[in-house]
């Protein structure tokens, strides 16, 4: 099991290490050039570097045929068969050193050769010097590269008497690492994918107690790439991963903003009160006799690389005026809107005419408490997704007897919070903001 020590890390990620090694690490020279991707995204070659946490804690994911291997195989096949870009794929094992290997087989077969036996003598599986390894990876990250790191990301602060303090250090050191990364590479983005796999190995809790009999465990892909390549990964590679067995959640971190967002006010669909839309402005002709004013607006969120789980969570939005609130959010499907907590709503024929030949993906019903006297401004905030808190553990000592704890990862929340804070400090705190004019 990898352990992390409370020293200042200049690393991209904080995994676990059992004993720290002080040996320097010689890493291969980068193959990919540092030329940035053109806006047209017409390039012939890009690099994909895949890193697997080769430690005892990960053996349970590669012991036999597992869901972990199924997802890994999907990744390898998707990259290898990509037609638009000729990817130069490299695979590395990470522990006390960074070891490039393909086990003597073609790239698509690496997942079959990845076993506890084939990795047993590659590096020290009880130790990892991530201070040097990930700092070097970060320095070699350039404009033509996608980096994928596969790990369980369990934090284990050996020798730390104060767990809360240790977890705060994890967040701080992670923030420091990503601040450096996003300062040196302003367009560098990070996407996290959460998976669940059958597990056939040993789990080590915060006290280093060996626990067997855990049949399923979460693990994660951390994908790091410049904006253009990240967009390509999301559009072309990600669908293969998300349809695989075991996919659960995702999170996205960027310094970019996505305004303006196209929108259209609906005058006759899912509204309360008599409304008109004139020159793009909402005009309130009459307020409802009972209840509050409600009006619906269509949006095109297709350019925002955020999943529906995040987009349809009302707590992720911020409204400028406390008079307004979000009553419901839905997905536009053809001529209807599927709202979260009400039956599917057909779009009024008059509204269909006004949005003809325009693309929209979502709808939001806004509610106004009182007489409207100003425009409505609202924004989608950059937050850590709610699933991260649900997947985070502060104490895993009862994991064997607690089925809920078995679905969590010790220290995960602090790790991802550090990443989020770094991106917020080097960027803005909103994915987009919109102002809806109201008369």
Burial readout 102-130 (b: 16 or more C-beta within 10 A, e: otherwise):
ebeeebbebbeebebeebeeebbbbbbbb
Q: Is residue 364 within a helix (H) or strand (E), and if so which, with residue range?
A: strand 362-368
Q: Give the per-residue pLDDT at 159.
A: 61
Nearest to 361 by CA among 306, 294, 282, 295: 306
Among 137-146, 187-196, 266-275, which is the least confidently predicted range?
137-146
| 43 has pLDDT over 80 | no
| Contact present, 276 and 247 (Cβ < 8 Å) | no
Q: Which residues pair with 434 in a beta bridge?
A: 378
Dihedral angle, C-alpha 174, 179, 180, 185, nearest 10 °: 120
Q: Give the per-residue pLDDT at 268.
A: 96
| 437 has pLDDT over 90 | yes
The distance between the two most distant Cα atoms of the chain, rounded to a whole number of Å, is 76
Q: Give the per-residue pLDDT at 98.
A: 83
Cβ neighbours of residue 307 closer than 8 Å, sequence gap 6 or more: 250
| Token code pair at residue 82 | 């990509």
Q: Give the per-residue pLDDT at 96.
A: 76
| DSSP per residue, 286-313 | E--SSS-EEEEEEE--TTS---HHHHT-
What is the CA 304 to chain-centroid distance, rounded? 13
HSE (side-chain half, CA atoms, 13 Å) at 278: 7
Question: What are the residue ranges spanned by the domains of the chain?
Answer: 45-255+387-429, 263-381
Cβ neighbours of residue 1 closer than 8 Å, sequence gap 6 or more: 16, 18, 55, 56, 57, 126, 154, 156, 204, 208
Instruction: Give the integer Cα–Cα distance in Å for 248 and 254.
Output: 21
| 4 vs 174 pLDDT, higher one | 174
User: Where residue 181 falls among pLDDT bands split at 50, 70, 90?
Assistant: confident
Pairing state between β 317-319 and 274-278: unpaired
Among 24-38, 168-182, 226-240, 398-412, which is the least confidently predicted range?
24-38
User: Where residue 6 falls among pLDDT bands split at 50, 70, 90?
Assistant: very low
| Contact present, 217 and 203 (Cβ < 8 Å) | yes
Burial of 265 (0-12, 13-18, 19+ CB in 10 A): buried
Instruction: Give the integer Cα–Cα distance in Å for 326 and 91.
Output: 46
The angle that helices 412-426 and 163-184 make with each other, rounded to 10 degrees, is 40
| Phi, psi of 8, deg, nearest 5 | -70, 115
Question: 303-321: per-residue pLDDT in tens?
Answer: 999 999 999 999 999 999 9
| Token code pair at residue 83 | 């037609």
Q: Which residues pair with 363 in a beta bridge?
A: 298, 330
User: Where residue 12 falls among pLDDT bands split at 50, 70, 90?
Assistant: very low
Question: 96-145: per-residue pLDDT in tens?
Answer: 778 999 999 999 999 999 999 999 988 888 765 444 555 666 667 777 89
CA 269, 275, 277 angle in degrees (round to 5)? 90
**What is the pLDDT averaged over residues 23-34?**
35
At 265 the three-state DSSP class reads strand
User: Where residue 158 falls among pLDDT bands split at 50, 70, 90?
Assistant: low
| Contact present, 297 and 364 (Cβ < 8 Å) | yes
Burial readout 285-296 (b: 16 or more C-beta within 10 A, e: otherwise):
eebeeeebbbbb
Distances (CA, A) of 232 to 40, 144, 236, 238: 12, 12, 6, 9
Instruction: Give the integer Cα–Cα distance in Å for 221 and 248.
Output: 12
The angle that helices 163-184 and 130-140 make with each other, rounded to 10 degrees, is 20
User: Where residue 1 falls among pLDDT bands split at 50, 70, 90?
Assistant: very low
DSSP 410: E
Burial of 330 (0-12, 13-18, 19+ CB in 10 A): buried
Cβ neighbours of residue 59 closer than 8 Å, sequence gap 6 or more: 116, 125, 201, 202
HSE (side-chain half, CA atoms, 13 Å) at 333: 9
Q: Phi-psi category of 5—alpha, beta or left, where left has phi over 0 and alpha has psi -120 to 50?
A: beta
Question: 323-373: per-residue pLDDT in tens?
Answer: 999 999 999 999 999 999 888 999 999 999 999 999 999 999 999 999 998
């Amino acid at each position: 099991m990898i352990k992390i020590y409370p020293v200042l890390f200049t690393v991209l990620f904080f995994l676990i290490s059992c004993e720290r090694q002080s040996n320097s690490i010689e890493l291969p020279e980068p193959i990919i050039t540092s030329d940035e991707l053109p806006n047209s995204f017409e390039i012939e070659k890009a690099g994909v570097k895949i890193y697997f946490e080769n430690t005892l804690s990960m053996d349970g994911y590669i012991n036999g045929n597992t869901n972990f291997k199924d997802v890994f195989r999907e990744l390898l096949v998707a990259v290898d068969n990509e037609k638009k870009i000729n990817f130069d794929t490299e695979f590395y094992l990470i522990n006390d050193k960074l070891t490039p290997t393909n086990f003597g087989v073609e790239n698509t077969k690496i997942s079959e050769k990845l076993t506890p036996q084939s990795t047993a003598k590659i590096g020290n599986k009880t130790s990892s010097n991530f201070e040097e390894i990930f700092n070097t990876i970060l320095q070699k990250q350039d404009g033509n590269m996608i980096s994928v790191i596969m790990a369980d990301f369990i934090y284990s602060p050996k020798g730390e008497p104060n767990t809360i303090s240790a977890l705060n250090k994890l967040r701080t050191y992670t923030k420091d690492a990503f601040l450096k990364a996003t300062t040196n590479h302003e367009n560098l983005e990070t996407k996290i994918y959460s998976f669940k796999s059958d597990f056939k190995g040993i789990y080590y809790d915060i006290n280093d107690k060996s626990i067997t009999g855990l049949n399923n465990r979460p693990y994660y892909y951390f994908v790091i790439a410049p904006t253009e390549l990240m967009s390509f990964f999301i559009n072309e590679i990600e669908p293969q991963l998300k349809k695989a067995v075991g996919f659960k959640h995702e999170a996205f971190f960027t310094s970019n903003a996505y305004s303006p967002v196209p929108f259209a006010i609906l005058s006759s669909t899912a509204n309360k009160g008599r409304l008109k839309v004139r020159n793009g402005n909402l005009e309130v002709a009459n307020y409802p006799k009972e209840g509050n004013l409600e009006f619906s607006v269509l949006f095109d969120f297709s350019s925002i690389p955020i999943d529906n789980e995040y987009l349809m969570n009302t707590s992720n939005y911020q409204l400028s005026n406390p008079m307004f609130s979000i009553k419901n959010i839905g997905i536009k499907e053809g001529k209807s809107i599927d709202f979260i907590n009400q039956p599917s709503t057909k779009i009024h024929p008059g509204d269909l005419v006004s949005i003809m030949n325009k693309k929209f993906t979502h709808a939001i019903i806004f509610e106004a408490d009182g007489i409207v006297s100003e425009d409505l401004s609202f924004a989608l905030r950059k937050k850590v997704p709610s699933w991260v808190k649900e997947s985070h553990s502060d104490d895993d000592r009862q994991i064997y007897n607690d089925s809920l704890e078995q679905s969590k990862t010790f220290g995960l929340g602090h790790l991802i919070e550090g990443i989020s804070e770094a991106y917020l400090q080097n960027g803005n705190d909103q994915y987009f903001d919109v102002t809806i004019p109201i008369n």
